[in-house]
Amino acid sequence: MIGHAEKIWLVLIGLTFVGAALGETGHASWLLTMTVVSLIAFKGGIVIDYYMEMRSANQRMRNILRLFIILIPVLVILIHAWGDEFRQLTTLN
């Protein structure tokens, strides 16, 4: 019988193979970026809520963890969209 822990593990493993398959395509595109950052946020969210059990824990701590796993994908999207502007912003003159 497959319990919750096993279902969670299978979901994470399945999504890992999806990510690896995407990596093998070797193309840079909006679709790849959006899919990959979605996988980061989704898989990270699963680990936080189910492996770490934060869904039923202190919500402030859970929100900090979720902020981490959401902020990074958002930054990736911003840099993908406005790479030139970000480069200028981070250039020391």
Partner 1 sequence: MRIFSSNSLPVAVDTKTTLQGRIPGNSGIWVGIFCVLVEFFMLFCVYLVAKAHNPEAFLTGPNKLVTLAGTTITLLLLTSGYCMVKAVNAIRINKNQSALRWIIMAIVLGFGYPIVKYYEIRWNIDHGVHGEAGVFYTVYYYLTLNHLVHVCWGLLGLMWVAVHTGAGSYSSDNYSGLEAAALYWHTTDIIWLVIFPFFYILR
Return residues touching partner 1 (CB under 8 A): 4-9, 11-13, 16-17, 19-20, 22-24, 26-29, 32-33, 36-37, 39-40, 42-59, 61, 64-65, 68-69, 71-72, 75-76, 79, 83, 86-87, 90-91
43-69 burial string, b = 16+ CB within 10 Å, else e? bbbbebbbeeebeeeeeeebeebbeeb
Using the minimum distance from each CB to partner 1, give the nearer residue, 1 or 20: 20
User: Alpha-carbon torsion 52, 55, 61, 66, what sign?
Assistant: positive
User: Alpha-carbon torsion 88, 92, 75, 61, what sign?
Assistant: negative
Backbone angles phi, psi at 58, to 5 degrees: -55, 120
Q: How far is the CB of 38 from partner 1 (least distance, A)?
A: 10
Q: How far is the CB of 93 from partner 1 (least distance, A)?
A: 14
Q: How far is the CB of 91 from partner 1 (least distance, A)?
A: 8
Q: How far is the CB of 16 from partner 1 (least distance, A)?
A: 5
Using the minimum distance from each CB to partner 1, give the nearer residue, 1 or 27: 27
